[in-house]
Structure 1
């Protein structure tokens, strides 16, 4: 008999195991996928219109792309990264955010190119030039 539950939903048991095994008392417990998704979209309501639209589209596409992921480690990494993002935007720290050299070194060449293209597009929007690109084309690849 086939399970009707998606792998991201099954991740809750993995999350509970990770929470129980944590040694660091200051570490934040990981949120379940649906709760995390909803909280991110709720926080996006505090962003300016263009950033909200871009953020909402990106979050929706990433969660949709990873909906059927089976690897528990990948799921935990995915959720931890998005939870860090939620923490960043909920405190308004995204305004001063920058990538460290450690993070840049871990990116694949394709991710660096996509990041550069995203930077160019945002500069064009900021300067009022607009864009002809479809925002759905801008995605990062998971490494």
Structure 2
């Protein structure tokens, strides 16, 4: 794959991920958009093998989320995402495991809309 083809593929995937995120609940969309943005920045200069793995994983992610966001799927399951195979943890670096933990903490915290809190406090 030539350099320009690779760049085109990355851009299309990046845009697809943000389009798929539009169907997510607002709090998950914000978190997902920020996470995807940071990951794509972080992998901007990775080697070709890492790039191949990165693009395959994000493509699988986009397909998985798109399937889960279909109205019929939402009516049936009402869940988003999937569990990580624990065997994958053995192949992750310490930095990746910390990042995964931080993402887990952010995802499991109760959602608070700062603008609503600010508006309600200013009314008091």
TM-score interval, smaller chain = 0.5 to 0.7
- CA shift for structure 1 position 58: 1.2
Name which structure has the greater RCO, CA cutoff 8 Å, separation 6+.
Answer: 1
Tell me which residue corresponds to 1:43: 20
1:10 aligns with 2:24: no
Over aligned residue pairs, what C-alpha RMSD do you find? 2.8
Matches within 5 A, 1:1-143: 10=3, 12=5, 32-69=9-46, 71-92=47-68, 95=80, 97-125=82-110
- Report the number of matched residues: 103
Unaligned runs of 5+ in 1: 1-8, 14-30, 131-143
8 Å CA contact 2:64–2:81 kept in 1: the answer is no
**Separation of aligned partners in 2, 1:86 and 1:125:** 25
Moved over 3 A (4+): none
1:39-61 per-position Cα deviation (integer Å, ceiling 9, x unaligned): 11000000000110011111112
- CA shift for structure 1 position 65: 2.3
- CA shift for structure 1 position 67: 2.3
Unaligned runs of 5+ in 2: 70-78, 115-124
8 Å CA contact 2:10–2:55 kept in 1: the answer is yes
- Kindly indicate which of the two structures has a greater share of residues assigned to helix: 2
- CA shift for structure 1 position 10: 1.2
**Separation of aligned partners in 2, 1:96 and 1:51:** 11
- CA shift for structure 1 position 96: 5.2
Tell me which residue corresponds to 1:20: none
